Amino acid sequence: MSKKKMQKKSKNGLGWLLLGIMVVFIGLIFIPKNKTENISFPDLHGLSFSSDGSKLVAAVHDGLREYNDGKWTTPDGEKNDYMGYSPIKNGFYSSGHPGPTSSLKNPLGIVKSQDNGKTIDVVDLHGEVDFHSLTVGYETEDLYVYTPEPNSKMKEAGFYYSKDKAKSWNEMALNGLTGNPRTFIAHPTQKGVVVIGTDKGLYLSNDYGESFQLLSDDIIASTGTISSQDELIVGQNTDEKKIIKIGLNNKEVKNVDLPKNIDGNIMYITNNYNNPDEIAIATDQINVYVSKNNGADWESIVNLGKGINQE
């Protein structure tokens, strides 16, 4: 082969190589970006399962995050700072602060969404109170709040309830309750039934907090929920970290195995209303774990504020 032909063949080979590199580069630019990549959690203000049980929903400083089929996404909707986030059968109630583009007043008071945060309806005390302690009956929609200071509907600081979706409020008498409250849990289906956990134990009321009876004086709960099976599920962060189930009817106490190498104190617990075996927990280190078999196995799905997507 002549030197001229060799040079021509070399140039052709180089041209094809450069063309191939350009095709790969252009392909990388125009590959659709997966919406589930790099989902972050600036903080965490609540957990729930969606009404159909298919998704885990996390309330954070700038709206919501959803976990479904091993992937985290950021759903469309208002980017409000949700505090006191509490799920109901067809949506959620919350308090907190409006997002930067929201037309809502600050603080939110009590708001409600029936479409997973796409639209927000004002319920009460809009622009007056940020309720960090708010719990709502999943089906009853009984509302229970703690107000840190007086407002236009609540004449002094304390615990209040509403039977009529915030049209009227009554102060809870709290007879029989002792200690400093740490968690506040509404029964999903039974009106007037609420649990308060204090540093002296767990207390149950059947009359909207007029009176309380002691459930346990050796369980100091930091958070909790009540399942569709009438089981109280609480997290404890004292000398020994625990997840505990208590039957509200038979008072049976069972321990739930924790995730291995759990990092941080348990801050939120939620139970899938459609599947009582499915539990999710979150810690103050912004770690989230989910179990589909009552704690026999756990999956880490958020680590130090970063969503983990399953391959």
What is the per-residue pLDDT for 118?
Answer: 94
- Residue 134: both structure tokens together: 């708010």
Helix (H) or strand (E) holding 213: strand 213-216
Q: Cα(65)–Cα(59) distance, rounded to whole angstroms?
A: 7
Mention every residue, 6+ apart, whose C-beta is less than 8 A from residue 22: none
**Residue spans of alpha helices (H) in the chain:** 3-30
pLDDT digits 0-9 by tens, 13-59: 545 544 444 444 444 444 434 344 589 999 999 999 999 999 999 99
* Percentage of the residues of the chain whose pLDDT score is greater than 90: 86
Q: What's this model's pTM, rounded to 2 decimal places?
A: 0.87
Q: 92-120 burial by CB neighbour count: b if 16+ within 10 A, else e?
A: bbbbbbbbeeeebeebbbbbbbeebbeeb
Q: Residue 221: beta bridge partners? A: 236
| Cα distances (angstroms) measured from residue 85 to each of 44, 94, 95, 244 | 10, 4, 7, 22
How many residues in the chain? 311
* Percentage of the residues of the chain whose pLDDT score is greater than 70: 88
* Maximum Cα–Cα distance across the chain: 104
Of residues 179 and 11, the one with the higher pLDDT is 179
pLDDT digits 0-9 by tens, 88-105: 999 999 999 999 999 999
DSSP 8-state symbol, 130: B
Predicted confidence band of residue 1 (pLDDT cuts 50, 70, 90): low
Q: Is 116 left (phi over 0), alpha (psi -120 to 50) or beta?
A: left
**Judging by beta carbons within 10 Å of its beta carbon (0-12, 13-18, 19+), is residue 175 exposed, middle or buried?**
exposed
